Amino acid sequence: MKFLDQAKVYIRAGDGGAGSISFRREKYIEFGGPDGGNGGRGGDVVAECVDGLNTLIDYRYQQHFKAQKGGHGMGKDRTGADGQDSVLRVPVGTQIFEEDNETLIADFTEVGQRVTLLHGGNGGFGNAYFKSSANQAPRRANPGQEAAEKWVWLRLKLIADAGLVGQPNAGKSTFLAAVSAAKPKIADYPFTTLHPNLGVVQIGGRDFVLADIPGLIEGASEGVGIGDRFLGHVERCGVLVHLVDGTQDNVAHAYRTVRDELGYYKETLAEKPELVVLNKADAIPEDELEGKRQALRKESGSDVFTISGVSGAGVDAVLYAVTGILDSEKRAAAEIERAAETWKP
């Protein structure tokens, strides 16, 4: 299945049905009077978060969604049928924006969430509605209310606990394949990863979801390479695992380049907890490895993990560090929730 994380779609609610002009015509009933029914309500356009989807690929082949119109009213005081809703089924992590691609309408984080994007038009009144003592035979009825329409953007942000970031060929896909059952494409040329990959990591009786996104290069925020749009998939992560290719001459510069691009994309992303990992240690002489590790520690201001994604050396230490950060964040969130419950204004 192809991966698609952004789509623009046109939505239109259903028009209301028209009211009916009708008079009762039955034998032996004199002056039957008006009996025109009201029109039915038009269908809504609804977005629903469902299980079993992990891409917006369906919206590449269908971009127009229109709810059904309400049925017209009929004689004998019969009300028209309501129109059927049009339902947009989206995966967990989908956000829906207005046409400006900035105004957020809905953010789906759990299966089962539903949001009405557009309401259907009301049905028109039939002539029976207008009957009064002063006008016992009205010959008027309302047309149905015209429904609203607009374009919206669907944007998918994967729900992952931890995210892999780094430059192209830093070994992110190799790392993901080594620690999970995911099978991302691995090759020795830049930008092998063209779309995010997810894997479930199990370590120490725990498991968490790890996301691998395409590599970042200098100028990605300005569209260089394949840009930085895929950074949206690690916005929800609790911790970033920053992989640096240890075979490069200047590992500090490589680290700073990625950090700068994270900040250009969104400040909150650059402020997330980070684990700095020097990868491909098995391809570097011991004395050179230590020098690069010290340079990276000085640049990042934090401890540096040294690993080899191919041999697996040092990988478990990184995974245990990830679970430690995730656990501390959960405890902090639980404490805040308890404090909010016990606090009384």
| Strand pairing class (6-12; 64-66) | parallel
Annotation-wise, does 279 bind a ligand? yes
Annotation-wise, does 195 bind a ligand? yes
CA gap 135, 73 in Å, rounded: 20
Tokens representing residue 43 in the block: 């269908």
Annotation-wise, does 213 bind a ligand? yes
Annotation-wise, does 173 bind a ligand? yes
CA gap 193, 186 in Å, rounded: 8
CA gap 163, 161 in Å, rounded: 7
Annotation-wise, does 282 bind a ligand? yes
CA gap 244, 251 in Å, rounded: 7
Annotation-wise, does 311 bind a ligand? no
Annotation-wise, does 234 bind a ligand? no
Helical packing angle, 251-265 and 286-300, nearest 10°: 30
CA gap 244, 99 in Å, rounded: 38
Annotation-wise, does 131 bind a ligand? no
Q: Are 12 and 118 in contact (CB under 8 A)?
A: yes
Annotation-wise, does 58 bind a ligand? no
- Pure H helices in the chain: 58-61, 172-179, 251-265, 267-270, 286-300, 315-342
Annotation-wise, does 101 bind a ligand? no
Annotation-wise, does 280 bind a ligand? yes
Task: Please name which of 73, 82, 63, 77 lies closest in space to residue 12, comparing C-alpha atoms.
Answer: 63
Annotation-wise, does 191 bind a ligand? yes
Annotation-wise, does 281 bind a ligand? yes
Annotation-wise, does 64 bind a ligand? no
Annotation-wise, does 268 bind a ligand? no
Binding-site residue positions for GTP: 191-195, 212-215, 279-282, 308-310
Annotated binding residues, written as ranges, equal: 173, 191-195, 212-215, 279-282, 308-310
Residues annotated in a binding site for Mg(2+): 173, 193
